[in-house]
Amino acid sequence: MSSSIQRIGVFTSGGDAPGMNAAIRAVVRTGIFHNKEVYGIMQGYEGMIEGDVVKLGARSVGNILQRGGTILKTARSEEFKTKEGRKKAYDELRKVGIDALIAIGGDGTFTGLHALYHEFKMPSLCIPGTIDNDIAGTDYTIGFDTATNTAVEAIDKIRDTALSHNRLFFIEVMGRNSGYIALYSGVAGGAGAIIIPESETSFDKVYDLLTAGEITNKRSNLVVIAEGSKIGGANEIARKVAERSSYFDIKVTILGHLQRGGSPTYFDRVLASRMGVAAVEGILAGETDAMVGIRDNKIVFNPFDAVMNRPHDIDHDMLRIAKILSI
């Protein structure tokens, strides 16, 4: 590929997500395949400001495909949010001769890269790596599938004990602004109710749904709740139900950070590999200030503005499916 770009910098930023390593590997090997040098920037924007940069070879990304987390580490940087911070970062990049950037992260990461692009015009692309699947312009983000599988495994285990003891379980999964993990793990795990930030519901509606189970003799039940639920988290909802009725034997499980780690699923590895290859080939072909996405199983490049000014709408069909199947 003929491009004036010679040295590509790659980094991970924001929350870690399983599959980030597979994306790093793909970026490094694709760059080298096209006769470019690839540099890993450690600790996201913090390392960029400090000039914490390492040259990566094809072998230095061996045996990471199947590992969770990120070998480049990740960090949050307040300094990068300032113009002075970004100038420092740009100067450090130029010292090494880096002339293009590929970021793997979430919307905050993209916003930072967009600002850097506008100030210094360095070709830049983003790869969506976040378990929340909360980014517009892509059907899936890297890490969502693995995190959801982890949640489903936990729900299956909890179901065994819920059934044995006739218990009502409230299971809280990750998703501060996005109900994707809750919705998909809830459908896959057979939840009796799913509570997500995007749906208009009330405590009374949820309570009515649970007491409907009392009439149909549903003795055990599972309710999956996204942490960003507008009607309270698992503990709060459980407390309110217990205050209203003694019919239920109630337990709460909060899955927390175990959803972030672990070996990525085949789906996340393949997704990350495709996006990593596309990001390098895209940037060499002149794509910039954009995010790689996957729509209807095809790679797409979304201009930054199209991604950042829209929410990733919840899957309404899946919401309907969840409702039908929970009777």
Active site residues: 132
Residues 106-135 that bind ligand ATP (CB under 6 A): 106-109, 111-112, 115, 130
Measured from the Cβ of residue 178, the count of other Cβ atoms closer than 10 Å reads 26
Chosen residue from 45, 144, 170, 248 binding ligand ATP by CB under 6 A: 45
3-state DSSP assignment of residue 149: helix
> CA 255, CA 151: separation in Å to the nearest integer?
7
Output the CA angle 16-67-60, nearest 5 degrees: 100
Site residue total, ligand ATP (CB under 6 A): 17
Residue 79 DSSP symbol: G
- Maximum Cα–Cα distance across the chain: 71
Closest CA to 163 of 185, 192, 205: 192
* Smallest separation (angstroms) from ligand ATP to the CB of 43: 10
Measured from the Cβ of residue 327, the count of other Cβ atoms closer than 10 Å reads 10
- Looking at the Cβ atoms of 165 and 176, the one nearer to ligand ATP is 176
Q: Does 81 bind ligand ATP (CB under 6 A)?
A: yes
- Looking at the Cβ atoms of 20 and 162, the one nearer to ligand ATP is 20
* Smallest separation (angstroms) from ligand ATP to the CB of 130: 4
* Smallest separation (angstroms) from ligand ATP to the CB of 235: 23
Q: How far is CA 206 from CA 202, 211, 242, 250, in A?
A: 7, 9, 13, 15
* Smallest separation (angstroms) from ligand ATP to the CB of 209: 31
Residues 7-26 that bind ligand ATP (CB under 6 A): 13-15
Chosen residue from 19, 31, 68, 105 binding ligand ATP by CB under 6 A: 105
The percent helix, strand, coil of the chain (3-state, each to 5) is 45, 20, 35
Q: Does 77 bind ligand ATP (CB under 6 A)?
A: yes
Q: Does 178 bind ligand ATP (CB under 6 A)?
A: no
Q: Does 146 bind ligand ATP (CB under 6 A)?
A: no
- Looking at the Cβ atoms of 79 and 236, the one nearer to ligand ATP is 79
- Looking at the Cβ atoms of 108 and 137, the one nearer to ligand ATP is 108
- Looking at the Cβ atoms of 24 and 191, the one nearer to ligand ATP is 24
Contact 106, 135 (CB under 8 A): yes
Contact 245, 206 (CB under 8 A): no
* Smallest separation (angstroms) from ligand ATP to the CB of 105: 4
3-state DSSP assignment of residue 98: coil
> CA 123, CA 195: separation in Å to the nearest integer?
41
Q: Which residues bind ligand ATP (CB under 6 A)?
A: 13-15, 45, 76-77, 80-81, 105-109, 111-112, 115, 130
